[in-house]
Structure 1
Amino acid sequence: MLGERLKRLRLQRGYTLVRLEEVSGVSYVQIGRYEKDKVIPNSATLKKLADALEVSIESILEDSSSIETVKDEDLNERFEKFKEVVGENDSNRRTLLEIIDLMMFQGSVNGMLTKKSS
């Protein structure tokens, strides 16, 4: 159900209802109603929540049980440490996101270069 997915995503980010309200601009009372499946958010509200949780709208709407998880124990261990270090510090969080984005960009460029040289 949408409410369960929304709550799971919120908790994965370590957000309380109040923190998600602060980040999304959506009332924590209303978010609680969504999580209990008492009300369905409209598309504009879904966009705000998705942006605040840094996920796609589809990940809130669709069952993500089929999403593949990272199976590398070293990576999982480091992700857990990152969560502790980053916490609610927006500066650390933004820096980490920039590093990940750069690594993904580098991987894409390397992939394109490899294809061209083949």
Structure 2
Amino acid sequence: MTIGERIKELRTAKKLTQTDLAKMVGLSYIQIGRYETHKSNPSSDVLHKLANALDTTTDFLMQGSSDDVVSAQLTDRELLSQFKQVEKLNKEDKHLIKTFIDAFLTKRQVQNLAH
């Protein structure tokens, strides 16, 4: 998959038009179309703006890195920000947070089965 294909995929997943995305990053819809059809590649500055607007990373846009697939699909900006902060914690704190999330999700699953 190319940069343009990833931009288009993320843009459509967020239900944005080329015009919407262009306004978010300060470009014309024509330029977004050029990126998506492989007629042009974004500069590094524009790539950063696109990544922010699409709630992903520049690595994902450029390489489709599997490590960043979750970031590309996570649309809750606050939650994404929290996960990025958790990434910086030490091993023990990360384990505690993972245990809490797992316990919460398990509780919800049990509650849903009971109803």
TM class by smaller structure: 0.5 to 0.7
CA distance in 2, matches of 1:112, 1:9: 32
1:97 counterpart = 2:48: no
Q: How many residues align?
A: 92
How many angstroms does 1:50 deviate by?
Answer: 1.0
TM-score for both structures, normalised by structure 1: 0.59
Aligned-residue RMSD, C-alpha: 3.4
Alpha-carbon contact 2:60-2:68 (below 8 Å) kept: no
Change (3 A) 1:68 1:42: closer
How many angstroms does 1:45 deviate by?
Answer: 1.1
Change (3 A) 1:69 1:9: closer
For residue 93 of structure 2, what is the aligned residue in structure 1?
A: 112
Report Cα offsets for 1:40-65 as digits up to 9, x if no partner: 1111111111111121111110134x
For residue 8 of structure 1, what is the aligned residue in structure 2?
A: 9
Q: Matched residue of 1:21: which SS?
A: helix
For 1:97, give the aligned amino acid.
Answer: R
For 2:93, give the aligned amino acid.
Answer: M
Q: Give me the identity figure in percent.
A: 33
For 1:16, give the aligned amino acid.
Answer: T
CA distance in 1, matches of 2:77, 2:23: 20
Alpha-carbon contact 2:57-2:68 (below 8 Å) kept: no
For residue 61 of structure 2, what is the aligned residue in structure 1?
A: 60
> Which blocks of at least 5 consecutive residues in structure 1 are unaligned?
71-78, 80-92
> Which blocks of at least 5 consecutive residues in structure 2 are unaligned?
97-115
CA distance in 1, matches of 2:36, 2:94: 45
For 2:40, give the aligned amino acid.
Answer: V
For residue 42 of structure 1, what is the aligned residue in structure 2?
A: 43
CA distance in 2, matches of 1:98, 1:28: 28
How many angstroms does 1:21 deviate by?
Answer: 1.2
For residue 87 of structure 1, what is the aligned residue in structure 2?
A: none
